[in-house]
A and B are shown apart, each in its own frame.
Chain A
Amino acid sequence: KAGVTQTPRYLIKTRGQQVTLSCSPISGHRSVSWYQQTPGQGLQFLFEYFSETQRNKGNFPGRFSGRQFSNSRSEMNVSTLELGDSALYLCASSLDGQPYEQYFGPGTRLTVT
């Protein structure tokens, strides 16, 4: 089975712009979670989508949003980028009901200048 894929792998944006990141889960996985990783804050949960519905949300401002499509692919969007949004964004997919099997993608490295 193909693993979790994330595109793009690297991205450079300017303050004030918006960005969209994509995550394709493992085939058959309906749950997709997003995490932000920074040196200062560590790994923080952004949100989780299951069957096109946001099931859980972390403590991030409304500039961070996401969605999930009928094929379980997910996108996250960050509007009005700030320097502090520079981070590695990781997504993870899992089968619902399988608490162990959460697989992570390689991440998207976002740099905001």
Chain B
Amino acid sequence: AQTVTQSQPEMSVQEAETVTLSCTYDTSESDYYLFWYKQPPSRQMILVIRQEAYKQQNATENRFSVNFQKAAKSFSLKISDSQLGDAAMYFCAYRSQGTSGSRLTFGEGTQLTVNP
């Protein structure tokens, strides 16, 4: 079974600065997908960024980028120019490419605080 670990329960960052959230995972599969989801106080889960394991290039979405290290099974999220609206719980998630459908395995989450 796959597992996802987020070792930072809480992080804080000053507005306009950069923060990196860590995520490691364990799998025996070679093809899979990784995601970062954001959950603000409204509890609505929002997809932030995604990465296909077969792609060596790190995904980027505006101020959000990842550092995907497949051999190390590491998938960190970098938020640049942090904004107050980035404050939320962030979840790292894993999805198999195979026959397990849409099932996501989530990490424990990292609560991000953005200080003005």
**Footprint of B on A, CB under 8 Å?**
31, 33, 35, 42-45, 48, 50, 55-56, 58, 88, 90, 92, 94, 99-100, 102-104, 106-107, 109
A54 nearest CB across to chain B (Å): 10
Which of B12-20, B22-30, B72-80, B98-106 lines the interface with chain A?
Answer: B98-106
Asked if A43 meets B106 with Cβ closer than 8 Å, knowing A92-B45, A106-B43, A107-B43, the reply is: yes
B43 touches A48 (CB 8 A): no
Find the residue from B46, B95, B106 having the highest chain A CB count within 10 A. B106
A48 touches B101 (CB 8 A): yes
Closest to A45 in B: B103
Give complex CA distance A56, B33 in Å: 17
B109 touches A42 (CB 8 A): yes
Please tell me if B108 contacts chain A, counting CB pairs below 8 Å. Answer: yes
Asked if A31 meets B33 with Cβ closer than 8 Å, knowing A42-B106, A106-B42, A106-B44, the reply is: no
Give complex CA distance A90, B39 in Å: 12
- 10 additional A-B residue pairs with CB within 8 Å, beyond A90-B43, A100-B35: A33-B102, A43-B104, A43-B109, A94-B102, A99-B52, A99-B102, A100-B33, A102-B47, A104-B37, A104-B46
